[in-house]
Amino acid sequence: MHDERRRIEERAERLHTQRIKPAIYAATIPMAVEAWQAPGEPVSFEEAASAPYEPFAMDTPWGPPWGTTWFRVSGRVPAAWAGRRVEAVIDLGFIGDWPGNQAEALVHLPDGRPLKAVNPLNQYVPIANPAAGGEQIDYLVEAASNPDILADNFAAPTPLGDVLTAGHKPLYSFRRADLAVLDEEVWHLDLDLQVLRELMVELGEHDPRRHEITHALDRALDLLDLDDISGSAAAVREALRPVLSKPAHASAHVISGVGHAHIDSAWLWPIRETKRKTSRTFSNVTSLADEYEEFVFACSQAQQYEWVRDNHPHVWARIKESVKKGQWAPVGGMWVESDGNLPGGEAIARQLIHGKRFFIEHFGIETKGVWLPDSFGYNAAYPQLAKLAGNEWFLTQKISWNQTNTFPHHTFWWEGIDGTRIFTHFPPVDTYNARFSGAEMARAVRNYAEKGAASRSLAPFGWGDGGGGPTREIMERARRLADLEGSPKVVVEHPDAFFAKAREEYPDAPVWVGELYLELHRATYTSQARTKQGNRRSEHKLREAELWATTAALHAPGYAYPYDKLDRLWKTVLLHQFHDILPGSSIAWVHREAEAEYARVAQELEELTAEAVAALGAGSTRVFNTSPFDRAEVIRTAAGASAYVQVPASGSAPLTEAEPPHPVTVDERVLDNGLVRVVVAEDGTLPSVVDLRADREVLAGQGNLLRLHTDLPNYWDAWDVDKHYKNRYTDLLEASQIEVVGQDPLRGSIRVTRSFGKGSRITQTITLRAGSPRIDFETDIDWHEAEKFLKAGFPFDIRAPHSSAEIQFGHIQRPTHTNTSWEAARFEVCGHRWVHLGEPGYGVALINDSTYGHDVSRTVREDGGTTTRVSLSLVRAPRIPDPGADQGRHRLTYSLLPGASIADAVAEGYALNLPLRVADSAGEPQPVVSVDGEGVTVEAVKLADDESGDVVVRLYESRGGRATGVVRTGFPLAGAQVTDLLERPLEDAESTDGGVSVSLRPFQILTLRLRRA
């Protein structure tokens, strides 16, 4: 037989696209349109309904960047359309097919009820099926003219990312507002052809099924009357029925389809626009649920539900009804889909606590899994945190973006740093916006790594980011693919059902140990440094406020614990940990607002802490220590003098000077406190740091070397730093000024000032204090560079086989060598408050108060010694999507701690990030809790969320070994329980004389609920 595939395929394509698709709507008539441009920010429906409207013609430009235009649309269904399926079709002037970064709208009924959204790939609004004829249609359409920030594939920076710089030129031309008759037979024929043609081209050239479909299409299209598409569509469909009804092979892969609409809580639009995107999408989803009884939609991010509840109660009511029917599945159990690396451990715990509580409270549903498809890597504490919140499974997608290595599993057990495992899936379809195309289905089967051992995977389907979620066309595809030869089987079901089946089928799935490191988007550890610093400060100020509020609630009569304020402030911080805000990958508007929000949070938390301390009574000056470790250190008093004080962990002490240790001396450019000696060279670097206790030189080269790298990644500017950044750099070796700026027996400081580049300036104050080997580098950067990357490097004379970096509730070890491509790909990694290097008998740590990115490398010197270098990433200067990213002032501190163990690094990490507080107070309360036992570290102290007055304490083992201890209370204890993260009892705690006994495995997290007598 002759091979006629090309002729048939080309024929099918032309007839499908040029004749059948245009015939989907059998008849149309234009609707009358009037418009009103809302001034400034979005307005309520009530204000829009009473506004003055003017006639508006099609193809008229509308919509300044970030503007809102309300359209009044009206028409009457012709009597001749009675019995037909009638819809409104609205095209705002959509561009391309990326649905999340352009115009979109919400259609309202005259009484204000949201009906459905209009999106680029979802332009219809249902009217009647069947229509009676004569229906009067009146809509108010709230249209958002959001600009395309990433037009031309990141070709150039754009001012469109902030309403302050975007201008006022209209972006869109309104194309269409019609009443239309949907020809259902033609519409179904279009879908039949889509599925068959896409399946056909994915099958192998020698696969008989491909040829069967090809010739079936040829025969069926012979029946198509080009003069009567509508009248002949049924015959064509009937001819295709045999080839569409052949069942899938018994061994066919099974894809569990889950409706989805990934909506970034902010990204290329501000938070205020996300609030509208959620309402639009959720109105679409609830409308689709009415059409398809098998439809299931998985939706995470409790914050977005709350926005819809507060802004659109009608949509909220429809969501609740869909949840009851089982068509809407709350998932994820987090306040937002946060970044997976940067939030602190307690913050991730609160993400899970607040998210799960929201779904329990409002829907009576406890979510079973963590849903994080789009975060940029996942820390190795997640398995334990997820399980402690009551979760059974974990889902991610982003690891498919790896730049170097292909992740080896799709279904696996993920083991965290403490040994906890959670059943995890990584969908082989490689998207969280699937539409069940032939290419996607073939890719899912081709990619699936578990062939031979398991046979099912998950596919989240639907348009995200304002695209409106799943569509009826996607649902129709799913129906056709439920059991079709040559394709995997598609079943639409709840993700809990998929995970239950997958675990039952594959209980002995392979194990992945440690972090899920994304080999891409490594610059998100550094971009938008002020946003990251705001988060770090907020996390620690929240800890401080909770501790002292708890102390006051226990010891200050009449003091009321600020439950509601703390709850609100936590949720504000959690929102800004979203995976495009905290990583620094959003537009300028988002980060401008984030910085302002962090300032408000800091001020309010400062007030709450001051109120709590003041409630303890006025009187003598005391020093308050929020850290979980006893501290003896030099502080600045209110008068500006230095004082050496000793303060217990989580407690306070009078401001009385302790016996001063060895005094600090400053001899020209040498700082010495009897513990370490620091030499500052003429170029401002450190040629020598001698640990006098160990009689050892710490450095193997210039320490605190500031290096300015050229930084232009291949694609995603704010997200990525590519390995070639290391190849071109300038060392900042010219110091414009070096001066001694502070010298007394307790403190010595040398200030180094540098100017460079395009008017940038760095001022560093290098400080050594009495009694501490810690060397602080207080850094003030006035930054005006573009496409540059600033690092501070320290070459250590240490042969360290691995580095240790703090992560959530513990630390992770990473090899310092690059034996394999997996290690080489980790050329930039994430850590929290400290990085540690050690060899047997000696170690050093670098500690910071706001940075996360760093790199570690090593070389062998000619003398045979090993130099292990750590470089802290301080600031970047990407231009896309925010052309002014990181420009301006940055103030941060990092510290070198010679002779440090892991325990020292942990303690000093807390100390740097939780400065001692000096305040007037007459009270001398005992610490709420204290711990006898090495390695048992208190992370949070608060009152129970149920307002019972119980005290909740979160502990963890911080050194990586087993730990035992006794938790003692500063109040009469009536009983204690071990709880999950949501403070629900798991078991009674073991009591001992005066406290609670604890025994922890390495990095174990333990939450205690302490009942007051």
Instruction: Quote the Cα angle for 853-858-860, to 5°.
Output: 165
Query: Cα 815 to the chain's mean position, in Å?
Result: 26
Find the helix or strand (DSSP H, E) in which 86 lies. strand 85-91
Residues 124, 88: contact at Cβ < 8 Å?
Answer: yes
Nearest to 714 by CA among 703, 704, 724, 706: 724
Q: Structure tokens of 251?
A: 């061994």
- In 465-619, where do the E strands start and end? 489-492, 511-513
C-alpha 773/C-alpha 869 separation (Å) is: 20
SS3 letters across 904-935? HHHHHHHHHHCCCEEEECCCCCCCCEEEECCC
Instruction: Quote the Cα angle for 285-287-289, to 5°.
Output: 70
Instruction: Supply the DSSP symbol for 170.
Output: -
Q: Structure tokens of 280?
A: 């639009």
| Residue in the structure block whose two tokens are 């998932």 | 331
Q: Structure tokens of 530?
A: 């002020």
Residues 535, 584: contact at Cβ < 8 Å?
Answer: no
Active-site entry in 162, 190, 374, 886? 374
C-alpha 877/C-alpha 885 separation (Å) is: 6
Q: Structure tokens of 901?
A: 């163990």
Residues 854, 804: contact at Cβ < 8 Å?
Answer: no
Contacts of 152-156 with CB under 8 Å at 24 or more apart are: 154/715, 154/716, 154/717, 154/880, 156/880
192 is catalytic: no
Whether omega for the bond prior to residue 460 falls within 30 degrees of 0, making it cis, is no
C-alpha 165/C-alpha 159 separation (Å) is: 5
CA atoms within 13 A on the CB side of 464: 21
- Kindly tell me the sign of the dihedral angle through the C-alpha atoms of 183, 185, 186, 190: positive
* The 936-943 sheet, strands edge to edge: 936-943, 951-957, 1005-1012, 973-979, 985-988
Residues 304, 310: contact at Cβ < 8 Å?
Answer: no
Residues 687, 702: contact at Cβ < 8 Å?
Answer: yes
| Residue in the structure block whose two tokens are 């003098």 | 641
Residues 390, 982: contact at Cβ < 8 Å?
Answer: yes
Identity of the residue numbered 860? V
Q: Structure tokens of 157?
A: 């920076």
* The 411-415 sheet, strands edge to edge: 369-371, 393-395, 421-425, 411-415, 511-513
Residues 46, 112: contact at Cβ < 8 Å?
Answer: yes
C-alpha 544/C-alpha 552 separation (Å) is: 12
Which residues contact residue 927 at a Cβ distance below 8 angstroms, ignoring those fewer than 6 apart? 551, 648, 649, 650, 651, 970
Whether omega for the bond prior to residue 881 falls within 30 degrees of 0, making it cis, is yes
DSSP letter string, 819-861: -SHHHHT-SSEE-SSEEEEEETTEEEEEEESS--EEEEEEEE-
Nearest to 774 by CA among 924, 854, 664: 664
Nearest to 83 by CA among 20, 134, 45, 146: 134
Could you give the C-alpha distances from 476 to 116, 234, 490, in angstroms and in order? 19, 17, 11
Instruction: Give the residue numbers annotated as catalytic, written as ranges.
Output: 374
